[in-house]
Amino acid sequence: MWIFAEIPNELYNPEYYKAVEEFMMHGCCGSARKNSPCMLNGRCSKFFPNKYVHNSMLDIDDYPIYCRRDNGRTIKKNDIDLDSRLFVPQTRPLSFHLPNEQSIIFDDGDNVDDVVNRPIVSQSMFIAWFEANMKYEDAKCLTYSEMPRKFVWKKDKREWHPRQRNFTIGRIFYVPPNCGELFYLRCLLNLVRGLKSFEDIKLVDGVHYTSFRDACYARGLIEDDKEYVDAIYEASLWSTIYSLRELFVTLLTSNAMSKSEMVWDAVWIHLVEDVEYHARKCIGIPDLVLIDTQKKNYTLLEIEKLLHGCNKSLGDYPSKSIPDGITNSFFFGNRLVYEELAYDQQALKGEHDVLVGKLTKEQLVIYNKVMLDVDNNKRGLFLSMDMVVPGKPFYGK
């Protein structure tokens, strides 16, 4: 939605024109009326008149500069024609926050415990919106940004009260996508109505989601990221594995993906293709076989290195798998251990199934005894068959 700080056309929008005339014009000041209440030291204390601006934008502090074009329209007050430079959009900045993360104002010398225990700490404008929805029927029909149209914020009472006259345009504070849950909360606040708690915001069609991001996804407010999966798959046909990881990191840091963990689950197989080759080269074991978990951990560590170059970390993406206690030293340890672990588990399982089917009844009894103790994590000594004395029964332990 675009906001124009301009005088409307009286013929096409007579009601809007009348509202602007009555409520939204600053009035005459400056050299034309030096005794205006806003005048201070010969200048308007409200910094009117404003400059003409052709496009709405945000200043360096993220405050809006509204489109204010010279459309030639004026409103006459006290026999003076006022143009769009004196138009005052009636906007109410609306703050919001995540659970228990509301802003607290205090002096340097205040005791921390006293500050935290103040009653007003839990009485933010946003939480008061929940309370208004429980108290007023009209509030239940409004989104948070629509609230100032029919209600006014009483700062001294920390409450929303029904508006007696006029109206105001609500403007929810802007937050960029890299703010995570705060960004997704803002997306939902432009849509949901009549909510009474933070948990209600996460409720979609009777299903309660654990995060605001998942609630956005359920409402169709964010994409399914299929185009990013396709992009990585297409690049895998010609690009190096290192470049594929760089592409994945670029998507992460640009906040382009809505659910990065789903993209990772779909494309990780393309990002790990060189891991086994590098491990064999470093350790010197030509037939070393790594399981998928080892490949993923190594690749995530490589992605972590690339993220550090962008002043980011996997920890900045809570849904992303993070290697636990694994380092690149995994591939530079004891050679004997790697040789012992360098086997193809699937091939061994197939061989095992074939050999078990060839066991005699006596051998199967011993096999089951050993496997039962192993499954129950019992300690014991198991003798190989070549240590059995001929002619005597063998019971294993």
Based on the fold, state whether residues 134 and 194 are members of the same structural domain: yes
* AA identity, residue 340: E
pLDDT at 333 over 70: no
Based on the fold, state whether residues 27 and 63 are members of the same structural domain: yes
pLDDT at 45 over 70: yes
Give the residue-averaged pLDDT of 54-61: 78
Burial label, 285 (beta-carbon count in 10 A; 0-12, 13-18, 19+): middle
| pLDDT tens-place string over residues 126-141 | 999 999 999 999 999 9
**Residue closest to 232 by CA, chosen among 224, 241, 219, 223:** 241
Give the residue-averaged pLDDT of 19-27: 77
Mention every residue, 6+ apart, whose C-beta is less than 8 A from residue 211: 181, 184, 202
Based on the fold, state whether residues 55 and 103 are members of the same structural domain: no
Based on the fold, state whether residues 80 and 186 are members of the same structural domain: no
The H or E element spanning position 283 is helix 275-283
Tell me if 321 is assigned to some domain.
Answer: yes
pLDDT at 224 over 80: no
How far, CA to CA in Å, does 310 sit from each of 249, 306, 313?
9, 7, 8
| Cα 247 to Cα 251: distance, rounded to the nearest angstrom | 6
Based on the fold, state whether residues 198 and 278 are members of the same structural domain: no
The predicted structure's pLDDT at residue 202? 93
Based on the fold, state whether residues 108 and 211 are members of the same structural domain: yes
Beta bridge partners of 91: 169
Which domain does 156 fall in, by range? 98-218
80 neighbors 48 (Cβ within 8 angstroms) = no
Based on the fold, state whether residues 108 and 144 are members of the same structural domain: yes
Last residue of a domain, one of 218, 251, 278: 218
pLDDT at 251 over 80: yes
Tell me if 8 is assigned to some domain.
Answer: no
The predicted structure's pLDDT at residue 189? 92
Which pair of structure tokens corresponds to residue 324? Answer: 């636990």
- Our count of domains for the chain comes to 4
Tell me if 2 is assigned to some domain.
Answer: no
Task: Compute the residue count for the chain.
Answer: 397
How far, CA to CA in Å, does 275 sit from each of 24, 297, 321, 385?
65, 10, 18, 40
Confidence band for 193, pLDDT divided at 50, 70 and 90: very high
Mean pLDDT score of the chain, rounded to an integer? 81
pLDDT at 29 over 90: no
Last residue of a domain, one of 89, 112, 132: 89
pLDDT at 90 over 80: no
Based on the fold, state whether residues 195 and 110 are members of the same structural domain: yes
Which pair of structure tokens corresponds to residue 262? Answer: 């789903």
